Amino acid sequence: MLDFEEELKKFRPSLEIDQVEDTVYSNNLSDVTDLMDEMLKEMKEHQ
């Protein structure tokens, strides 16, 4: 039987995951809300 507590102590995240996480967090990514805000702002300017 597995001892989950012991297995969790041994767990180490892979380096690739850390690198991807750093890359994602360091980029200024737009989400749907940002895009909608920008579209609404442009629409208001053109009225």
d(CA 2, CA 19): 30
pLDDT of residue 14: 78
Q: Within a 13 Å sphere around the CA of 35, how many CA atoms are in the beta-carbon half?
A: 4
pTM comes to 0.40
Per-residue pLDDT reduced to its tens digit, 1-47: 889 999 999 988 777 887 888 887 888 777 888 899 999 999 999 98
